[in-house]
Structure 1
Amino acid sequence: MSITQTPSGAPGSAPGDEATFFGHPRALSTLFLTEMWERFSFYGMKAILVLFLTASVANGGLGMAEGSANALFGAYAGLVYLTALPGGWIADRLIGARRSVLYGGIVIALGHYVMAVPADWSVFPGLILIVLGTGLLKPNISTMVGNLYEKDSVRRDAGFSVFYMGINLGAFVAPLVTGWLADHVSYHAGFAAAAIGMTFAVVQYVIGSKRLKENGAAPTHPLVGAERKRTFRSIWIGVGVAAVVILIMALLGWLSVNSVVDLLAWFTVAVAVVYFVRIFLDKRLTEVERSRMKAYIWLFVFAASFWLIYDQAGSVLNQFADKNVDRTVGNFTFPAAWLQSVNPILIIIGAPLAGALWVKLGHRVSTPWKFAVGLIFNGLSFMLMAAAAQAAVSHLVSPLWLIAVYALQVAGELAISPVGLSMTTKLAPAWYASQMLGLWFVSTAVGDAIGGQVAKFSDGGPSYFLILGVASVLLGLGAFGFTRHIKALMRGIH
């Protein structure tokens, strides 16, 4: 941590508040550490989830088929980000971002503690609680980070890159802990470690909340009066319809893991489409806001395409590491989950460099250009993965293959993910501040949900990786051609 003078009038600072965090507002430290421990819990559990689902019952797993486990993993990852949309709405209209983060953290911790119970029934209730809690926490903590900066400040991207380091510090340590516990104690012991990490997140957030001052303390557009009654009536009707659908599926014998996973995947896509339509039909949007939302659709599609490939690291690539990678060093065979730590450590190294690069380049390089670069790197990673899969046909391959794949993906991620968070807060219409952060995470939900469906057909062979890799590169090249058009739609936002 560096302690320097806070620029006068910086958002999130108060007169006489001179301490800063890596040259950024002091409140960033509280949000940084909360996100770090929350990501420890999330990625710690995620690193061993597919391995647990596919492990035999005798080895402490659920014994699911690989295709079904991949689809379930994708649906779970998608729902984690899909619930960010109602989570943002709850903050905007009901309780504010600050309490949303707190309540979400508590629910996430409960979910991990449920999964830590050594019984088969504990897994799905635990996953549901984690999904609901993350939906409350994830978009709103990012909104609070955005509140620390002026809307068009060049320091904004750098601030989100520092915040992103917190995400990846937790993501780096977590698989090392949970992977070892899963291999040497039990999968449920790994889930327990994730629960303890989330407990640290909640405690740290409460202790550091005084630094946040009024940031996120109240809803931006409180839901009151007749509108409140209409909204809650609609919510209860929706809950009732969902209950009826579930009951009908159960009576018809359609309520299997695979059918529910498929339904959730396409429901995720439908939500994104409906929400965009809803925003564009909102008469409160100004002409400038409407134009910026048109630009945002392009960025949303690019991001979803990126995550479709990228987040298969926890499913398809994790299984490849378990079966096809030589993980023996001397007399020690390290857990497959440990390779899940490669990606975040590379981001920890690269995030400050990327942050410095964006500050140096300023407005000379646009967000659409960065997205195009990210898609190309992502595609190249799966093209390299195709070569690794081809080599694995005859023998176990070196873990260096996966390390190189993750390095390419990290280069792409640093051009899309923290930049996308920042851009979302810039392009957001006034009436959709926190909800737009939720919508940004829906791009990940859509990518993960479709990616889970695609991963059902993976046989670990080279053709699977090659097809997806070439498609991503071609999409990235196409994105370069639309850069000028998207910039024009952004109406002065860089």
Structure 2
Amino acid sequence: MSTTTAPSNGFFESSVLGQPAGLFVMFFTEMWERFSYYGMRALLVIFLVSTADKGGWEWTTERAMGLYGTYTMGVYLTPVFGGLIADRLLGYRWAVLLGALIMTLGHASMAFETETFLYIGLGCLMVGNGLFKPNMTSMISNLYKDHPEKKDGAYSIFYMGVNAGAFLGILICGYIGEKISWSWGFGLAGIFMFMGLLQFYFTQGIFGNVGLTPKQSKALKTEEDAVDTTPKKVIIDRLIVVFIFSIFTIFFWAAFEQAGGSMTIFADRYTQRVLTGNAGLIYKIVDALLTIIPVGIITYVLIKLFSKTFKKYSIGNLILATSFVAIWCIIFWRINREFSADTTEVAATWFGILNSLFIITLAPLFSKWWESKYNLPGAVKFGLGLVLLGLGFGFLAYGSMSIVAGQEVVKVSMVWLILAYLFHTMGELCISPVGLSYVSKLVPAAWIGMMFGVYYLFIAMGNKIAGSMGGMIEEITTKYSLTTFFLIFTAVPIGLGIIITALHPLVKKLMHGVK
């Protein structure tokens, strides 16, 4: 048995819900990181544009969206350097741990609510994410390198962890920030990020040799490089495919990331969020169920993980259990507070949980789809994802037809945002985890960390464009209409989806047998 396969065998020894137990250690670590990221992301723009009487800074939408775009661009730009640092110096594990620590400090800085600490905090979050994000995905790539047929499914399950964290972060940090205190909302994101750091540190033994420093794994890398030596033309062709997917990824994220900006503003200003009578009671019941059921499912996964790993990694598991006890306490406090209130007002940030909720619900189905005989080719998956994204904005365009610029008294049904998030989520499942999987399969093993960083660089471009375009919502609405604004995000993704689907024969040829 070769030394390259040895690290993966221990990883696959114990199974949780049909996947290796070690995958769920990553699942929960990534969950807390995404809790912190999306919890802060849900608050940033709405905090900056809120009036002083609500504790906000009264920034213009254009300025707030400009900062949002720069921040989200930085979050996906720094992984280029984070991947290189891990590949050449720290190794994946220490890069993840250091990144988590820096992000914790970033969230703590933002809790002070001064402009200086805001910029310090955002800077720390960019740097920390650069060390964390590409190297978690690189570890999965290395762990599954001898099981390429399982990668699409593994990344989809991992992506469910990403969105479980997003769900909890928006639900808890968004609610507390918007209704209790902005500082508490930003601060909670850092507390749970720190818990994730500790959990990963005390459970890292489950990964065997994978993710060690370059010096520790030198022998492994030497053999791995020899095994992965391919004819030069094949490597170039496959890198061209990565480049094609990356280009279309820019446009996907430029539209999708309106969720943290223009769609939140749409929810805040133009959506009917005050509910009375039976409508208010129904919302409270549905909201409670939407909160308890997903967290219950995640807790069930946690218990299954405990049954396989508690004896060997008790400290890490106890830290994880403590985090979930805290989460359940906050959830019950939140539900009780909502049912005790005389009036029902849906938080503008609440709609952000829909994306995560739909991911948690649909990811297992998509994972099964990608592993079945009905699996779609990569280019077709990307095309379908872009079309679904465009259709989601089509609902917002239609729902906005009654809104006239300057007349913010017009409020539209919440159903349009719900439908938009549903279609955006299905589009995301066709592109985001699949894109990560294809990068891991198309790139030589020795380049994984760096190339994940390069892939995130393209996502960074999309995020910056998202901020710039989102900042134009008021200008386009005043000059034309809000429907026109959303139609732009309808037409462009659908058109690009058709184009990349048509490129399938070329992409298939350039992939040289990679499925």
TM-score, structure 2 length as denominator? 0.79
Distance between the aligned counterparts of 1:220 and 1:164, measured in 2? 30
Distance between the aligned counterparts of 2:403 and 2:35, measured in 1? 31
| Letter in structure 2 aligned against 1:408 | F
Distance between the aligned counterparts of 1:151 and 1:375, measured in 2? 31
Matched, 1:75 2:87: no
Matched with 1:492 is 513
Unaligned runs of 5+ in 2: 219-228, 277-342
Distance between the aligned counterparts of 2:215 and 2:76, measured in 1? 22
Tell me how far 1:443 sits from its aligned partner. 2.2
Matched with 2:362 is 350
- Bigger CA drift: 58-67 or 136-145? 58-67
Distance between the aligned counterparts of 2:378 and 2:122, measured in 1? 34
| Letter in structure 1 aligned against 2:345 | T
For each residue in 1:251-299, what CA deviation from the matched residue of structure 2 results, as whole angstroms up to 9, or x when unmatched?
xxxxxxxxxxxxxxxxxxxxxxxxxxxxxxxx99822111111111110
Matched, 1:380 2:401: no
Matched, 1:291 2:237: yes
| Letter in structure 2 aligned against 1:132 | V
CA contact 1:10–1:25 (8 Å) conserved in 2: no
CA contact 2:79–2:453 (8 Å) conserved in 1: yes
Distance between the aligned counterparts of 1:32 and 1:344, measured in 2? 14
Tell me how far 1:151 sits from its aligned partner. 5.4
For each residue in 1:27-49, what CA deviation from the matched residue of structure 2 results, as whole angstroms up to 9, or x when unmatched?
11221110000100000000010
Distance between the aligned counterparts of 1:361 and 1:470, measured in 2? 31
SS in 2 for 1:214: coil
Tell me how far 1:452 sits from its aligned partner. 1.4
Matched, 1:332 2:344: yes
SS in 2 for 1:305: helix
Matched with 2:301 is none
SS in 2 for 1:391: coil
- Bigger CA drift: 285-294 or 192-201? 285-294
Tell me how far 1:437 sits from its aligned partner. 1.2
Matched with 1:180 is 175
Matched, 1:14 2:38: no
CA contact 2:7–2:207 (8 Å) conserved in 1: no
Matched with 1:436 is 451
The one of 307, 316, 319 equivalent to 2:262 is: 316
| Letter in structure 1 aligned against 2:191 | I
The one of 479, 483, 488 equivalent to 2:500 is: 479
The one of 189, 196, 199 equivalent to 1:201 is: 196
Distance between the aligned counterparts of 2:355 and 2:116, measured in 1? 32
Distance between the aligned counterparts of 1:167 and 1:329, measured in 2? 31
Matched with 2:295 is none
Distance between the aligned counterparts of 1:120 and 1:59, measured in 2? 17
Unaligned runs of 5+ in 1: 1-8, 224-282
Matched with 1:458 is 473
Q: Any residues of structure 2 matched to 1:369-448 within 5 Å, and which?
A: 369-393=380-404, 395-448=410-463
CA contact 1:385–1:462 (8 Å) conserved in 2: yes
Distance between the aligned counterparts of 1:343 and 1:317, measured in 2? 12
Tell me how far 1:389 sits from its aligned partner. 1.9
For each residue in 1:306-362, what CA deviation from the matched residue of structure 2 results, as whole angstroms up to 9, or x when unmatched?
000001100000011011111123321121011110100000001000000000137
Matched with 1:23 is 18
Matched with 2:159 is 164
RMSD, matched Cα: 2.1
Tell me how far 1:222 sits from its aligned partner. 9.4
Measured at CA, do residues 456 and 439 of structure 1 come closer, stay the same or move farther in structure 2, by a change above 3 Å?
A: same
Matched, 1:106 2:101: yes
Matched with 1:279 is none
| Letter in structure 1 aligned against 2:421 | Y
TM-score, structure 1 length as denominator? 0.82
Distance between the aligned counterparts of 1:486 and 1:159, measured in 2? 23
Tell me how far 1:146 sits from its aligned partner. 1.6
| Letter in structure 1 aligned against 2:8 | G
Matched with 2:35 is 40
Distance between the aligned counterparts of 2:13 and 2:88, measured in 1? 33
Distance between the aligned counterparts of 1:348 and 1:203, measured in 2? 24
Matched with 2:49 is 54
Matched, 1:142 2:137: yes
Distance between the aligned counterparts of 2:141 and 2:18, measured in 1? 15
Q: Percent identity?
A: 35
Matched with 1:360 is 372
For each residue in 1:62-87, what CA deviation from the matched residue of structure 2 results, as whole angstroms up to 9, or x when unmatched?
22110121121111111101101100
Tell me how far 1:183 sits from its aligned partner. 2.5
Matched, 1:301 2:247: yes
Tell me how far 1:391 sits from its aligned partner. 3.1
Measured at CA, do residues 222 and 30 of structure 1 come closer, stay the same or move farther in structure 2, by a change above 3 Å?
A: closer
SS in 1 for 2:458: helix
For each residue in 1:175-226, what CA deviation from the matched residue of structure 2 results, as whole angstroms up to 9, or x when unmatched?
1211221223221110011111101111111121111121111239999xxx
